Structure 1
Amino acid sequence: MNDAIAGIERAMRQVVAEAEAAAGHRFSERDLPLYGVLRYHLGWADPDFRPATADAGKRIRPLICVLACAAAGGDPDVAVPTAASIELLHNFTLVHDDVQDGSDRRRHRPTVWALWGVGQAINAGDALFALSQLPLLGSHARGVPPARVIGVAREFNATVLRIVEGQVLDLCFEERWEIPVASYLNMIEGKTASLVAFAAWSGAVLAGADAERAERYRAFGRALGLGFQVQDDLLGIWGEAEVTGKPAGDDIRRRKKSLPVLLLASKADAEDLSTLQTIYAGPEVDDAAVETVLRLLEKYDVQSEVQVAVAEYHAEALRLLEEAGATGPARERLNELAERLATRRF
């Protein structure tokens, strides 16, 4: 599948380059640095827009799309444009998330807003969203029937709405403590798992799978995406800084009410809950406060509970993949990917 990943990268570069070339007829690069900012965020350029190779992320979502297409009996090359659209869309969400979360580091580099300001980061995210539509809509050039392209494009945009709905809930939850775990899981199902679910579903649809089988792939992607986010929550507190690229306890410093913190709030006695709430209400969460929250998490054995949840989602994903009737080497790759996501350290 390395060829497929290379194809996805080419498709992404092509759509960015074509848009930049079209803009070049009207503006100079100096007057319109937009595409340099996009290349920087995507890992193709340094802050001065010189060509560079930086960490571009794990490319998990587009890989799932291509692998699902192959596992459902299709030609994986057919899914490459849609996979490129998925990755561009994912990066749109990252740029905007960094603004909303105030995160100044991503993938061991300054974020877009930290270098060029909030306004230009919003513009860059908007541009990535627009660009994300284009490869998918060009899928007919690879032999995908137009009606199928339209159906996938419609679901692509429905997925965007689910992502935004999840992000709205995430921000609303920042002001509340009475957040049931079920409500949190509903939020991450929209914000995170919906795009993974779309990736698996669209791969199966592009392979020609019928509606019932495609929905089984979607269910597999949903379980995988939920497990991915819960593992991300674990790493946001207990991950190693040199591996994750973020400071240890970063989610605590950012006062994120991730699953471990919500579990702690649901288990803590009145005194410990008051301590947690006071820390999160303060103007800054310093190192001492982070250590206090870490001690509370250890006291109530929250880390083990989160690890169990990751393992359960992982097992569910493997079961659903079997039910979807996935076959061949692509199925083995999806199995391996699920295993890796369940044990990843970054």
Structure 2
Amino acid sequence: MTEDQPALREVERYMRAVIDRAESSGMLDDRAALPLYRVLAYHLGWMDEQFRPARVDGGKRIRPLLCLRCCEAAGGDPSAAAPVGAAIELLHNFTLVHDDIQDRSRTRRHRPTVWALWGEAQAINAGDAMFALSQLALLGVADRLPASSVALLLRAFNETTLRIVEGQVLDLGFEDRPSVSVDEYLTMIRGKTAALTAFAAWSGALVAGADPERLERFRLFGEALGLGFQIRDDYLGIWGRREETGKEPADDIRRRKKSLPIVLLLESMTPPDRELLDSLWSGPEVSDQAVEQVLELLERYGVRERVRAEVARLHQEAHSLLAEAAEPGPARDALAALLDRLATRSG
């Protein structure tokens, strides 16, 4: 058992309860005729492909953990934030189900994705259901907080969802563009990735009763953490190892993904090297030889070290913001340890 599992048990219990309640109040008594909720359980790691109980990788639950840790660091009871943590995790997984369709990703966490098993149409339904369930989970704080705080949470939660979708729209639009600036890329991940980590940190502090100034510090901490998390993910998408990431090495190069390493390369390279890159990516598939040549270009322009330096900068910024937001003590230490793990993770 890791040190994070006890903190997440209540979140997991609440997620299961929300889904079970929805299934039991659904249209049909015959669960085999309406496997929607078991498809969700499969995606979350609770069932296998035959809908048998299982306990497989359902993700690290980083975002709900961040919410609970920030609640505690702001002086609150982390168990009071469990419904918010459950809502955050369900919202995150709604985006993953839809992203897998849009990205044509057939595997996630070493297993077939929902659309790969049950088709695109049913995967869209599963994602839609996950979003509705996230709203229901969030309403679980209604008996724990003042009505004004609940309304504030709901508004911020839906605004966060819009920022995530806006980021995904930008990300998909980047695929058809010859180049993307670093500023444009950062705007995209500030929505697609960092908006939810910012909400997680902010909402945990809100449940704890933090004042507006302190809430903003927690929000900025969550945003810096999210930006660093995504850029570390970009690093692993090119230089990560298969046994740690579950993906082929340099998978983002094969997908022609405009992650930060490629954006930095495009801004730095000479016209002849740009022509070379365009020729390497011109075919229907990117060959192993082409991948090696792109890796050589990345090394020649020092992109790997620049990406590492940006992760380190955001890591330090998040540490500074955390020191401003939370009082010294075990709760802040736990958040600092989480931040350090995310900055150096290998998968």
What TM bracket, shorter-length normalisation? over 0.9
| 1:52 CA displacement | 0.5
The offset of 1:252, in angstroms, is 1.1
8 Å CA contact retained: 1:72, 1:327: no
- Cα distance in 2 for residues equivalent to 1:167 and 1:261: 18
Q: Within 2, Cα distance between the matches of 1:327 and 1:78?
A: 21
- Contact 1:96–1:122 at 8 Å: present in 2 too? yes
CA distance, structure 2, for counterparts of residue 65 and residue 282 of structure 1: 44
Q: Distance in 1 between matches of 2:94 and 2:32?
A: 23
Distance in 1 (alpha carbons) for counterparts of 2:39 and 2:108 = 14
Matches within 5 A, 1:157-168: 157-168=158-169
Partner deviation per Cα, 1:90-114 (whole Å, 9 max, x = no partner): 0011111111111111111111111
CA contact (8 A) 2:28 2:34 kept: no
**Structure 1 runs of 4+ with >3 Å offset:** none
Residue 15 of structure 1: aligned partner: 18
Paired AA for residue 343 in structure 2: A
Percent identical residues: 60
State which drifts further: 259-268 or 278-287: 278-287
My pick for the range that moved more, 197-206 or 1-10, is: 1-10
For structure 1, the residue ranges without an aligned partner over 5 or more in a row are: none
Classify the secondary structure of the residue corresponding to 2:25.
helix
Normalising by structure 1, we get a TM-score of: 0.97
Q: CA deviation at 1:2?
A: 3.4
Aligned AA (1:9):
E
Q: In the alignment, does 2:217 pair up with 1:208? A: no
What is residue 251 of structure 1 aligned with on the other side? 252
| Distance of 2:8 and 2:165 partners within structure 1 | 27
Contact in 2 for aligned 1:57/1:107 (Cα 8 Å): yes
CA displacement at 1:208 relative to structure 2: 0.4
Root-mean-square deviation (CA, aligned residues, Å) is 1.2
Map 1:116-155; keep pairs closer than 5 Å. 116-141=118-143, 143-155=144-156
Partner of 1:75: 77
Supply the distance in 1 between the matched residues of 2:312 and 2:281 (Cα, whole angstroms): 29
Asked if the contact 1:44/1:54 (under 8 Å) is kept, the reply is yes
Equivalent of residue 102 in structure 2, options 74, 80, 100: 100
Kept in 1: contact 2:326–2:332 (CA 8 A): no
Q: Aligned residue pairs: how many?
A: 344
User: Within 5 Å, which residues of 2 pair with 1:1-346?
Assistant: 2-23=5-26, 26=28, 28-141=30-143, 143-346=144-347
Q: 1:2 to 1:30 in 2, by over 3 A?
A: closer
* Closer, same or farther: CA 328–140 of 1 in aligned 2, 3 Å: farther
Counterpart code for 2:19: V
CA distance in 2, matches of 1:322, 1:94: 32
Moved more, 7-16 or 111-120: 111-120
- CA drift of 1:27 comes to 5.0
Q: For structure 2, which runs of at least 5 residues remain unmatched after alignment? A: none
1:165-204 deviation per Cα after TM superposition (whole angstroms, max 9, x unaligned): 0000001111113311011001000000000000000011
Output the CA distance in 2 between the equivalents of 1:137 and 1:282. Answer: 50
Moved more, 116-125 or 83-92: 116-125
- Give the AA of the match of 1:88: L
The amino acid that maps onto 2:139 is L
Amino acid aligned to 1:118: E
The one-letter amino acid of 1:127's match is A
Render the CA deviation track for 1:14-41: whole Å, top value 9, x for unaligned: 1111111112x52522221211110110
Q: Secondary structure at the match of 1:30?
A: helix
